[in-house]
Amino acid sequence: MSSDYDDIIHLPHHVSKRHPRMPMRKRAAQFAPFSAITGHAEAIKEAARVTEIEPIMSEDSNATLNKKMTTLMRKIGQRPVVRIHYFCPDKRKEGGCYLQAVGILKKVNFDERYIEIVTQSDQMAISWRWIVDIQEEEAKL
């Protein structure tokens, strides 16, 4: 059987005299998969990341929370240990997550509506807007 390439099929492979042979690693890299759109994989991960919705407190819940804050403010000299359940807004997308912090109550600011506590690792101020619940703990830090 004769084919169209019989005249060249048995010729030796051409070796350039001008260009050095490419190392196998670099040659393999030319055929490696690539991301056609830079950042696309990260965008997909970000979109898939689940966030919780912002809390909507009822008037009764707000009244209960205010009572707890007032009670704790009266005890501030005793340095009560508190557990705060609060919402932390996400910086990148709508929603956020719920967190808890345990620390010594340092300050309750009714004018600017935030509470300040000292935890084992740092000091933090949490806006009342995000506080879902606050409880006094029996244990000392």
Q: Give the span between the Cα atoms of 107 and 65, in whole angstroms.
A: 16
pLDDT string in tens for the chain (141-residue length): 678 888 888 899 889 999 999 899 888 888 877 667 778 888 888 888 888 998 888 999 989 998 998 899 999 999 999 999 999 999 988 999 999 999 999 998 889 989 999 999 999 999 989 999 999 998 665
Q: Let me know if 89 is exposed, middle or buried by CB neighbors in 10 A (0-12, 13-18, 19+).
A: middle
Asked whether the CA dihedral 74, 79, 82, 87 is positive or negative, the reply is positive
* Residue 46: strand, helix, or coil: helix
**Whole-structure pTM value:** 0.67
Domains of the chain with CATH codes = 59-137 (2.30.30)
